[in-house]
């Protein structure tokens, strides 16, 4: 399964409203998990089995909770049993389709 998630503390942001330290704490846990992952400006995506992915998300949420009295968690999951490597394969298929389309003009 792939799970894209976003975490943010609320209630104690700095004067500029920046939450990068809290996000860094969460991303550190994801990266140390050893599961395939990717972080962009809005979400972190992690790939693995249900229990291992949600254990990492729980621990990342607990890390963010150290930065404020509340935590916002947004999740989007692609649950496709029997598939692995989709964190890269989905993007590769998209790029191939774009190249095919661009090449046929």
What residues make up the domain containing 75? 2-103
**0.75 surpassed by pTM:** yes
Q: CATH no. for residue 28?
A: 3.30.70.930
Q: How far apart are CA 99 and CA 4, in angstroms?
A: 26
pLDDT tens per residue across all 105 residues of the chain:
999 999 999 876 555 657 899 999 999 999 999 999 999 999 999 999 999 999 999 999 999 999 999 999 999 999 999 999 999 999 999 999 999 988 765
The string of pLDDT tens digits covering residues 83-100 is 999 999 999 999 999 999
- Provide Rg for the chain, Cα atoms: 16
| DSSP character at residue 96 | H
Structural domain tally of the chain? 1
């Amino acid at each position: 399964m792939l799970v894209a998630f976003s975490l943010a503390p609320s209630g104690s942001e700095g004067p500029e409203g920046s939450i990068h330290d809290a996000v860094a704490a969460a991303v550190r846990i994801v990266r140390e998990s050893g599961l395939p992952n990717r972080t962009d400006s809005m979400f972190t995506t992690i790939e693995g089995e249900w229990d291992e992915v949600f254990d990492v998300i729980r621990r990342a949420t607990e890390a963010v909770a150290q930065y404020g009295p509340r935590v916002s968690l947004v999740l989007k999951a692609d649950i496709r049993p029997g598939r692995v490597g989709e964190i890269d394969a989905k993007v590769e298929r998209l790029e191939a389709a774009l190249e095919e389309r661009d090449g046929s003009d």
